[in-house]
């Protein structure tokens, strides 16, 4: 079975690896002319690390990522209001990882090219449209270098092309633009000394638009050395206003210092953080309404193309990885690709839609919002109840992750 995957990001590349592991023939197309190590930090939760480990990537992940041991919610003065262990420290059989998004993408790209061949990822191809028949899908692309059309025929087409997915736009031509909540994120990375124990993810503040996040995304060279630190400052420009100069605009160090000036966090030098950041970019916090279906015949969606979500609970990238594994599992268990995509839709969509809606209601970060209202740490048990409810909703409690059946399938022949 031949599968065309539109989008060469984390979701698209992991999809190719999952499909290949199940014995299929995936091909990835990417609109960018070159896949580069750009971006900031991302967290992979244990349920996603389990899936990447089952794809044989555990050693590579450990070489580029840092396993945080603790999540620490703090108020605006830096005082702890709730803390919990992460990864193996919490009892999972797999770690949680904090990693530079670009490094993770290049790791996945190298694995795809090694396992599927050097031509398995084609760049500079801008998706235009698709049409499908009873026995296949034809995708049309524009070669950005030559300006010529490119046609790709496959048995299945997967849209993994992000929040502004062109595949989704063909399936839902009248859909509204992504929805914002008025919050904009200033995101940067900088070399900075240890924060707390050097293995903590810190979320300080309260409600969206009044939060600061920091966590290391690499191990420092020495115990007292600097580590590459990912940081996010949430700001508001008004309930509907876009960021000045559009999404992805560059924030100056002076502007960042001014934005951070009202924060008094004794365990981090915010001025140095702003000045040491090579680049700081602003992005609106966006999601989309859940869809009634992802799969139409031989075409389906996954990752941010299917379910973009607000970044509460560090779950977006991890859920994208889960999509890819379930998709490959379903295709391996059904003789009919249309039935397989329908099965994938029924398994994944309701579960992820619930997370999208929960993240609109703050997800686990309800803890610091309630603590701000309360004027301090929540009563015993209330914070834990919020955190546990979110884990259950995302099927990511220790018991759920450690004991569920594997999505790995016996490798099939190349023909489907």
58 domain-assigned = yes
Rounded to 5°, the CA angle 139-103-319 comes to 60
d(CA 333, CA 339): 10
Q: How confident is the model at residue 114 (pLDDT cuts 50, 70, 90)?
A: very high
Last residue of a domain, one of 240, 258, 287: 287
Same domain, 309 and 324: yes
Q: How confident is the model over 71-80, as pLDDT tens digits? A: 999 999 999 9
SS3 content of the chain, % helix, strand, coil (to 5): 35, 25, 40
Q: How confident is the model at residue 247 (pLDDT cuts 50, 70, 90)?
A: low
414 domain-assigned = no
CB 309: neighbour CB atoms within 10 A? 25
Pairing of strands 121-123, 2-6: unpaired
Element (H, E) at 127: strand 125-133
> What are the structure tokens assigned to 47, written together?
């349920």
Kindly tell me if the per-residue pLDDT of 14 is higher than 50.
yes
22 domain-assigned = yes
Q: How confident is the model at residue 416 (pLDDT cuts 50, 70, 90)?
A: very low
Give me the count of residues in the chain. Answer: 416
Nearest to 211 by CA among 231, 227, 192, 195: 231
Same domain, 161 and 36: yes
d(CA 101, CA 304): 15
Beta bridge partners of 368: none
Q: Are 96 and 49 in contact (CB under 8 A)?
A: yes
- pLDDT on residue 413: 46
d(CA 414, CA 117): 14
Backbone Cα Rg of the chain: 21
Pairing of strands 149-154, 136-143: antiparallel
Nearest to 167 by CA among 326, 301, 291, 348: 301
d(CA 312, CA 209): 12
> What are the structure tokens assigned to 249, written together?
């605009």
DSSP state of 304: G
Same domain, 204 and 270: yes
Q: What CATH number is associated with residue 250?
A: 3.30.9.30
Q: How confident is the model over 27-48, as pLDDT tens digits? A: 999 999 988 777 789 999 999 9
Indicate the average pLDDT of the chain: 92
Same domain, 103 and 199: no
Same domain, 275 and 304: no
Q: Which long-range contacts (CB under 8 A, 24 or more apart) does 262-266 make?
A: 263/76, 263/204, 263/212, 264/76, 264/77, 264/78, 265/74, 265/77, 265/78, 265/204, 265/212, 266/78
409 domain-assigned = no
Same domain, 7 and 101: yes
d(CA 171, CA 295): 9
410 domain-assigned = no
Interhelix angle 46-54/10-21, rounded to 10 degrees, is 40
> What are the structure tokens assigned to 48, written together?
């996603």
Same domain, 206 and 268: yes
- pLDDT on residue 349: 97
> What are the structure tokens assigned to 149, written together?
């059309």
Last residue of a domain, one of 224, 254, 287: 287
> What are the structure tokens assigned to 248, written together?
């992805």
Mean pLDDT of the region 187-215: 92
| pTM, to two decimals | 0.94
Same domain, 244 and 321: no
268 domain-assigned = yes
Same domain, 195 and 250: yes
Structural domains in the chain (count): 2
**What CA dihedral angle connects 223, 224, 226 and 229, to 10 degrees?**
70
Last residue of a domain, one of 243, 262, 287: 287
Structural domain for 147, as ranges: 2-176+288-403
Q: What CATH number is associated with residue 146?
A: 3.50.50.60
415 domain-assigned = no
368 domain-assigned = yes
Same domain, 299 and 283: no
Same domain, 298 and 283: no
Q: Are 226 and 96 in contact (CB under 8 A)?
A: no
d(CA 311, CA 313): 6
Which ranges constitute the DSSP H helices of 227-336? 253-260, 270-276, 316-333
Pairing of strands 211-216, 226-236: antiparallel
Q: How confident is the model over 128-144, as pLDDT tens digits? A: 999 998 899 999 999 99
Lowest mean pLDDT segment, chosen from 48-52, 156-160, 368-372 = 368-372
Same domain, 41 and 101: yes
């Amino acid at each position: 079975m031949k599968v065309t995957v539109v989008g060469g990001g984390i979701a698209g590349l992991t999809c190719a690896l999952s499909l290949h592991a199940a014995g299929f023939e995936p091909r990835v197309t990417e609109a960018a002319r070159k896949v580069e190590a750009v971006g900031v930090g991302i967290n992979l939760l244990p349920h996603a690390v389990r899936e990447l480990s089952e794809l044989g990537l555990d050693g590579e992940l450990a070489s580029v990522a840092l396993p945080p041991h603790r999540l620490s919610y703090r108020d605006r003065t830096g005082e702890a209001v709730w803390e919990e262990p992460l990864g193996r420290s919490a009892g999972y059989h797999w770690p949680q990882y904090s990693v530079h998004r670009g490094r993770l993408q290049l790791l996945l790209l190298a694995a795809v090219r090694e396992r599927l061949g050097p031509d398995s990822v084609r760049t500079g191809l801008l998706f235009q449209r698709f049409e499908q028949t009873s026995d296949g899908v034809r995708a049309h692309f524009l070669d950005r270098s030559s300006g010529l059309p490119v046609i790709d025929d496959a048995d299945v087409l997967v849209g993994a092309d992000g929040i502004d997915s062109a595949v989704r736009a063909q399936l839902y031509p009248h859909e509204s633009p992504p929805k914002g909540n008025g919050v904009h994120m200033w995101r940067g990375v900088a070399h900075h000394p240890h924060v707390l124990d050097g293995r903590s993810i810190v979320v300080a503040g309260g409600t969206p638009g009044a939060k600061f996040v920091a966590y290391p995304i690499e191990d420092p060279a020495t115990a007292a050395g600097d580590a590459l630190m990912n940081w996010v400052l949430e700001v508001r420009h008004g309930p509907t206003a876009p960021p000045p100069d559009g999404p992805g605009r560059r924030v100056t160090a002076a502007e960042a210092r001014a934005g951070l000036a009202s924060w008094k966090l004794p365990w981090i030098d915010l001025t140095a953080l702003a000045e040491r950041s090579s680049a700081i970019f602003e992005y609106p916090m966006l999601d989309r309404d859940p869809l009634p279906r992802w799969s139409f015949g031989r075409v389906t969606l996954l990752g941010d193309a299917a379910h973009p979500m607000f970044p509460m609970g560090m779950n977006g990238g991890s859920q994208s990885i889960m999509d890819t594994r379930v998709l490959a599992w379903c295709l391996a268990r059904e003789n009919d690709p249309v039935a397989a995509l329908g099965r994938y839709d029924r398994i994944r969509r309701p579960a992820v839609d619930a997370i999208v809606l929960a993240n609109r209601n703050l997800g686990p970060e309800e803890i610091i919002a309630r603590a701000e209202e309360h004027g301090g740490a929540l009563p015993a048990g209330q914070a834990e109840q919020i955190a546990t409810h979110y884990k259950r909703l995302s099927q990511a409690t220790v018991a759920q992750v450690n004991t569920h059946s594997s999505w790995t399938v016996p490798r099939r022949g190349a023909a489907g």
